[in-house]
Amino acid sequence: MRKVLIITYYWIPSGGSGVQRWVKFVKYLRDFGWEPVIYAPENADYPVIDASFEDDVPAGITVIRRPIWEPYALYRRFTGKKDKAIQAGFVSDSKERDWKDKLSVWLRGNLFIPDPRKFWVRPAVKYLKQYVEQHPVDAIITNGPPHSMHLIGLKLKRIFPKIPWIADFRDPWTNIDFYKELHLTKWADAKNHRLECKVIQGADAVTVVSAGMREEFESKYTTQIYVIPNGFDDQDMKIDAPALDDCFSISHIGTMNAARNPIVLWQALQQLCDEQKIMKSELKIQLIGKVDFAVIEAVDSYGLQDCLVKTEYLKHDQAIQKQQSSQVLLLLINQTPNAKSILTGKFFEYLASNRPVIGVGPKDGDAARILQETGAGIMIDYEDVDGMKKVLLDYYKQYQQKALTLKTTSVTQFSRKNLTKELSNLINQLTTHA
């Protein structure tokens, strides 16, 4: 069986969305003739831990773990946050960042380019050069962010020019939603763009998760760009779905930073509750995952605090169970320049949960298109309060009649096994021409 070396920062025991894409690819790669070899850090500073993904990894998979140095211990000491996990996506648990936090963000953006894992690049390349010489592989894949993983791939490509290299982007690089929050100098911004160019032009192929990301990269680079989205694993979805919540539950699973704060939803719910078209006693807003302080503040300001149930984190199987038991699922697209191309990892599990989805985001984006094609829900514009009220009221009336049901169509294309087949076909194509 041919071997593919997968270089990733996020690996078990990491939790959250970052780890799932490649855990699920690894789960099914053998079915399509590829033996994965994983290269991951042994002591990474992960925001959340979820060892349950171990059950997805087939027996006998080679996982190479090597030490990594990250500057987060220095950050904790400097800011006095000794016991706090480092949050991804600029989620803040306080109203204002103090000067130490602001300085730390500036240093992160302007000194640690492209990210704080840059210190792993040189030792990883040194180790993998010897490893590949002694244990040949047929292809190499790097997964980012963090985009330092792609710099490892870039250097290995120069050492092993005949081995095809795929750079896999779960999120953009210089167009990622929090890029401007890094407060980059012109020099740092130029360096990020230069490194992005070297990676994309140096790879034999680039994979992205949405059509919008492909269009962005194709407008700047000549490398072949392929869309392989995130998806859902059929084996994760409960055959006997749990009973639906006995309240009118609206649930969001995943990180909710300030850029995802759905003000239009809070406004619509406040008005419907005040008009008593929705009974406040029946409403439950379930936020599962890291939530920015600005979101909690907004919920309070619209008088919905008594309806809020906040859960820091659920293991993956518990999160799926919560999706399937919710009356309505909430999909939030960051209100940022790259909004049209954002497809969050949880989105596809939402589709497979057979529960109605209310999205807040651009109505002409990738997520809106898929919602319409599958019949899984409706996308509401960021400021369309009347549209949001109409959808909420329609779902609420169906809930009262115990008739809030949904059957999506055409979602099998997003199953993890089918997506792994697409990935395997791409690797086959590249290795055939190598």
What token pair was written down for 301? 């300001």
pLDDT of the residue at 239? 63
DSSP assignment of 309-350 equals: EEES---HHHHHHHHHH-SEEEEE--SSTTGGG---HHHHHH
The confidence score (pLDDT) of residue 407 equals 74
Structure confidence at residue 103 (pLDDT): 75
- How far CA 398 is from CA of 229, 304, 327, 395, 425, in Å, comes to 32, 22, 10, 5, 44
What region does 162 belong to: left with phi over 0, alpha with psi -120 to 50, or beta? alpha
Q: So what's the pLDDT on residue 410? A: 81
Count of other CB atoms within 10 angstroms of residue 133 = 10
pLDDT averaged over consecutive 10-residue blocks of the chain (434 residues)? 96 88 96 98 87 90 94 63 54 58 76 91 98 98 97 98 97 87 90 96 96 93 94 83 91 90 96 92 94 93 95 87 94 90 89 93 94 94 96 95 83 93 97 80
| Residue 328 · residue 249 · CB < 8 Å | yes
Domains in the chain (CATH in brackets) are: 2-231+415-432 (3.40.50.2000), 234-412 (3.40.50.2000)
Angle of helix 366-374 versus helix 345-352 axis, rounded to 10: 10
Measured distance CA(138)–CA(164) in Å, rounded: 7
SS3 state at 77: helix
Q: Read off the pTM.
A: 0.89
What span, in angstroms and rounded, lies between the C-alpha atoms of 310 and 23?
Answer: 27
The pLDDT of residue 395 is 96
Amino acid 42: pLDDT: 94
Express each pLDDT in 23-54 by its tens digit.
999 999 999 999 999 999 999 888 888 888 89
pLDDT value for 278: 87
331, HSE (Cβ side, Cα atoms, 13 Å): 31
